[in-house]
Amino acid sequence: MSKPHKPLDLLIIGAGVAGLTAGLYAARMKLNTLILEDALVGGQIRDAYIVENYPGLPKVKGSDLVKTLEQQALEAGAVLDEFDQVLSAKLTAAEKVVETHSAVYQPQAVILAGGMERRQLPIAEEKRFRSHGIHYCELCDGHLYEGKTVAVVGGGNAAAGALKVLSKYAKKLYLIHRSPQMTAEPTEQQAALDLPNTEFLFQTQILSAAGETELQRVVVENVHTKEQRTLDLDGIFVNIGVIPRTSLYSQDITLHASGHIIAGESCETNVPGVFAAGDIRTKPIRQLTTAAADGTVAALLAERYLTKQKDTKIKQE
């Protein structure tokens, strides 16, 4: 059975803050706009326990912020397709074709806003214990560890936030981090250090995990002394960084060595009519506010691009 072919003015790939903001602006400009998301709407910020640095909103849950943005985009007229994965993409000046599980889209312009994905715990047993002791979303799975012993791997803001969430459930917490100290913002570090029943294992990495059907223990190693230790653990929550979701576009779109899409403040890529917004593009600062700004810029310049294309076509006719 062949998939339906669907023409569009604008296809936005990714429904995080950048993608939803782009959808809001594009729909307000009366573009036939589809926002495509292969997982839950909201990206990484959806899992944030509390956001305190978004202008105008002193304290807001990440999920609530995303819900508001989604509602705004939909009310403006954008269409959202959730849980539909991109299988292939051909993005050239002459033709733009994006195939998903359900359809083949033929947009006139594209905004790539797929953001980042979490790095997996680099041990051989990761796949075996994924969702059976190894997790990547403390808001989703933290409640499963009421009264149990849990470790957070990582040292940045995400790891600090995970500790705060898990402290509501776990009787004992570990933070396992390769560096001599946390890299989170000072206020986040202090909040983590003040948590009760928490042991900090710096300059330490996990070597292996073991258990029958569920995770039961791990072997950790000091990265300098090579001293090893076995920890009895019920769960691990991994926060060791993220990587840009750009591999599907590398054939047509120019990428930086880091994997990010090369695009400046105009969000324009090397392909006319293709824009990059949010964490997916090269830039020095990645915050919610910069993601929203990218979404705005990309949508408005996509509209200009489409208007110019239509005007050129009319003149040629």
Q: Are 35 and 66 in contact (CB under 8 A)?
A: no
CA 250 to each of CA 13, 19, 121, 245: distance values in angstroms, whole numbers, following the listed order: 15, 20, 25, 10
Taken in order of first residue, the domains within the chain and their CATH numbers are 5-118+242-316 (3.50.50.60), 126-238 (3.50.50.60)
95-153 residue pLDDT tens: 999 999 999 999 999 999 999 988 999 999 999 999 899 998 887 789 999 999 999 99
Mean pLDDT by 10 residues, the chain (317 residues): 92 97 98 95 80 88 93 98 95 97 97 92 96 88 95 95 95 97 94 96 98 97 97 97 93 96 98 97 92 98 97 85
pLDDT of residue 25: 98
pLDDT of residue 181: 95
Query: Do residues 82 and 102 make contact, with C-beta atoms less than 8 angstroms apart?
Result: no
- Count CA atoms closer than 13 A to 220's CA, side-chain side: 22
Q: Give the model's pLDDT for residue 286.
A: 87
What is the C-alpha separation between 189 and 157, in angstroms, rounded?
8
Distance CA 191, CA 269 (A): 40
Looking up tokens 């936030």 gives: 161
CA distance 20 to 42: 8
Note the pLDDT tens digit of each residue in 61-101: 888 999 999 999 999 999 999 999 999 999 999 999 999 99
Contact present, 107 and 13 (Cβ < 8 Å): no
CA distance 34 to 55: 27
Place of tokens 């090579």: 226
* Residue 33 confidence (pLDDT): 98
Check residue 23 and give its pLDDT: 98
Global pTM reads 0.78
What is the β-pairing status of strands 217-222 and 242-244?
A: unpaired
E strand spans, the chain: 5-13, 33-37, 79-82, 86-91, 96-100, 104-112, 116-118, 134-135, 149-153, 172-177, 198-202, 204-210, 217-222, 228-232, 235-238, 242-244, 274-276
